[in-house]
Amino acid sequence: MSGRWFRSGIAVAVALLSVSACGTLSERRDGVTQEVARFEQALDAGQHERLCAALAPATREELEQSAKMRCEQAIGEQQLPAAGAVRGVDVYGDQARVVLEHDTLFLAHFPAGWKVTAAGCLPRPQRPYQCDIEGG
C-alpha cells in the first residue's frame, strides 16, 4: 500500500514540476493572451503568412491537406470571424482555451511558444466544439 502512495506522490511531483517549468499560471495566461492578440491582428490585417506561422504544425498540415493548397492560400479562404474581446482564458499545463465574443481558439505550448491548434470554434451542447481550422 505504501509503495502505491509513494508512486502517486512522485507522479504528482513530476506533474507539478512540468507545469511550473512553463512559468506561473499568470505568465502562461499572459503568453496565451498575447499570442491570441497577435493572431487576431494578423487576421484583421489579412496577413496570411503571420496567421500560418501562428498555427501549430499539425493544424497547418491539416489545413493544407484538406484544402489541397498552401496554408497562406487556404487560410485566406477561411471565414474566420472577427473575434471581439476576450471573455475568458483557461490554461491547463501546455494547453489553453481562449473564449472571445465571437470565436474560441485553442492553443498548445511548443518550444517556440504558444501556437493555435484550432480556430473558428463554436461550442455545441453536449458535444465537442465545431472548428473551422483544427489539427488532425
Domain housing 118: 24-134
pLDDT of residue 19: 42
Q: What is the pLDDT of residues 56-92, one digit of tens each?
A: 999 999 999 999 999 999 998 988 888 889 999 999 9
Asked if residue 102 is part of any domain, the answer here is yes
Asked if residue 12 is part of any domain, the answer here is no
CATH number, position 42: 3.10.450.50
Asked if residue 18 is part of any domain, the answer here is no
Asked if residue 118 is part of any domain, the answer here is yes
- Residues of the chain with pLDDT > 90: what percent? 73
Asked if residue 76 is part of any domain, the answer here is yes
Domain count of the fold of the chain: 1
CB-neighbour burial class of residue 50 (10 A; exposed 0-12, middle 13-18, buried 19+): middle
CA–CA gap between residue 82 and residue 108 (Å, rounded)? 21
pLDDT of residue 136: 65
Asked if residue 51 is part of any domain, the answer here is yes
pLDDT of residue 97: 96
Each residue's pLDDT, cut to its tens digit, for the chain (136 residues) gives 444 333 333 333 333 334 444 589 899 999 999 999 999 999 999 999 999 999 999 999 999 999 999 999 999 898 888 888 999 999 999 999 999 999 999 999 999 999 999 999 999 999 999 999 998 6
pLDDT of residue 50: 96
Asked if residue 5 is part of any domain, the answer here is no
112 is written with which cell numbers? 517556440
Asked if residue 57 is part of any domain, the answer here is yes
